[in-house]
Amino acid sequence: MMAKVEAQDARIAELEEENRRLRGGKGGGTPLAIKASRPRKEEQKARTPRDRGYGRPREAQVDERREHAVEQCPECGRKLEGGWAHGCRQVIEVVLQKRVVEHVFIARRCGVCRKRWIPTAAESGLGVQGKRRFGASVQALAAWLHIQGRTPLETIRKLLWEGCELAISRGEVLNLLEGVKQAGETELEGLLQQLRLAPAVCADETGWREDGQNGYLWGFFTPELRYYEFRDTRSGQVPVDVLGEEYAGTVICDFYAAYNRMGVLQRCWPHLLRDAKELAEINADRPEVVAWEQALRDLYREAKDFSSPRLRHRRAARRTFEARAAALARPYAEDPEAPQRVLSHRILKHLHELFVFVEDLTVPGDNNLAERSLRPAVIARKISGGTRSTEGSKRRMGLMSLFGTWSAQGRPALKSCRELLLPTPAP
């Protein structure tokens, strides 16, 4: 029994010594868990002084002023009067309050022609779309919450009731959203026309459900335009229908074959490099595969860094980069044992679609714009599960296109929506 205890003590001592070695050396260094996460203050670099303060500035417009003063002396109890302003502090509040405006139409009779005149609703600036009872501010807020805030309809209804004491049904919220979509039809048509004239368009697609059935949400984007389309198919006819058969620009996309029917294509390099990185991680024990992936990555970085103001230089550089990519791919394309075989086939097949961005400065080498623009729609799909009808899908796609374009152009989405509903500001 004693021998067993001594063996255990020896093992414990051995593990403690190994622990001390790993944590800081033979002398028993500082335990890893309490090591300083940053240098001591005397070791830190001197902080560069700022040229100005970056705190929130005072608001120029003050809606309410409240004065606070001590009414009696805390020591002797004497009443205090007068005084002077010692300090000031602003508190910003947001008040959600229902405001009912009753518009009375006055009939007047002309004393000369004896005709009776009553102002029309359009002339009076009621601040409402059509014959709706809820004003454009309520309508724009509901649309903003639903699209920008990805808020479900029932939550919008509860917010308007609990925050503004505004009783509204779920169906009426849908009607308000439909009204915004109808008001934006002309703007959506103009947006589509601008998209078809753009020199470069990023395109991508993701899953979407309509009434429980799987479909696809297609997105077409430029730096200042966002356009979404729902289709129940993922065929190559969709980009042709949206951009038109005569589209003369460049489509930036991944390697999905549906885009092959378009004219000039720029394939997304991050998609290719992501697959190459995964291949290198799987074959980490094969140095030639790791070196091949690094060479491919370096080639893209070099192409991305290349710039020249002259078109002929950019064209020559594009041919050079294509030749180097082909040289990387050909040795492995016909080798059935090479892990790089599939990616090498992909490079050779799309060789002339990999370096369009070197020649054309308006074309990016990645499809990140489409990926980022589709992300809000993917989050909305996870929250709501999709749409429930064809009308709902059209309404959702139209509103996402409008709000997405306003945001991309740096315009306040809520204000832009209200201006869409009321082209002429109400007096």
Picking from 241, 84, 152, 179, the residue whose alpha carbon sits closest to that of residue 418 is: 179
Q: What percent of the chain has pLDDT over 70?
A: 92
Q: What percent of the chain has pLDDT over 90?
A: 63
Q: How far is CA 240 from the centre of its chain?
A: 25
pLDDT at residue 243 greater than cutoff 70:
yes
pLDDT at residue 396 greater than cutoff 60:
yes
Picking from 144, 135, 17, the residue whose alpha carbon sits closest to that of residue 414 is: 144
What is the residue range of 356's domain?
269-366
Q: Cα(167)–Cα(160) distance, rounded to whole angstroms? A: 7
Question: Of the ranges 41-50, 322-331, 397-406, which one carries the lowest mean pLDDT score?
Answer: 41-50
DSSP string spanning 134-188?
A: S-HHHHHHHHHHHHTS---HHHHHHHHHHHH-----HHHHHHHHHHHHHHTHHHH
Q: Cα(250)–Cα(267) distance, rounded to whole angstroms? A: 10
Question: Of the ranges 48-62, 187-201, 377-391, which one carries the lowest mean pLDDT score?
Answer: 48-62
For residue 356, tell me if it sits in a domain.
yes
Question: Tokens 């489509």, residue?
Answer: 251
Say what the pLDDT of residue 230 is: 96
Higher local confidence (pLDDT), 143 or 133: 143
Domain count for the chain, please give it: 1
For residue 316, tell me if it sits in a domain.
yes
Question: Of the ranges 25-39, 244-258, 360-374, which one carries the lowest mean pLDDT score?
Answer: 25-39
Question: Of the ranges 74-83, 235-244, 395-404, which one carries the lowest mean pLDDT score?
Answer: 74-83
Residue 228 DSSP symbol: E
Most confident of the ranges 4-13, 15-24, 69-78: 69-78
Structure tokens at 267: 């394939």
Through-space distance between the first and last CA atoms of the chain, rounded to whole angstroms: 98
For residue 344, tell me if it sits in a domain.
yes
How does the average pLDDT of the chain come out, rounded? 89
Say what the pLDDT of residue 102 is: 85
Higher local confidence (pLDDT), 16 or 183: 183
Question: Of the ranges 55-64, 184-193, 242-251, 399-408, which one carries the lowest mean pLDDT score?
Answer: 55-64
Say what the pLDDT of residue 244 is: 92
> Could you tell me the pLDDT band of residue 23, with boundaries at 50, 70 and 90?
low
For residue 139, tell me if it sits in a domain.
no
For residue 113, tell me if it sits in a domain.
no
For residue 413, tell me if it sits in a domain.
no
> What is the three-state SS of 252-283?
EECCCHHHHHCCEEEECHHHHHHHHHHHHHHC
Helix ranges, 283-426 (H): 287-305, 311-333, 341-349, 356-359, 368-384, 390-408, 413-421
For residue 288, tell me if it sits in a domain.
yes
pLDDT at residue 347 greater than cutoff 90:
yes
Say what the pLDDT of residue 144 is: 96
Amino acid making up residue 225: L
pLDDT at residue 427 greater than cutoff 50:
no
pLDDT at residue 1 greater than cutoff 60:
yes
For residue 289, tell me if it sits in a domain.
yes
pLDDT at residue 35 greater than cutoff 70:
no
Say what the pLDDT of residue 426 is: 41
pLDDT at residue 14 greater than cutoff 70:
yes
Structural contact between residues 212 and 191, judged by C-beta atoms closer than 8 angstroms:
no
Q: Which residues pair with 72 in a beta bridge?
A: 79
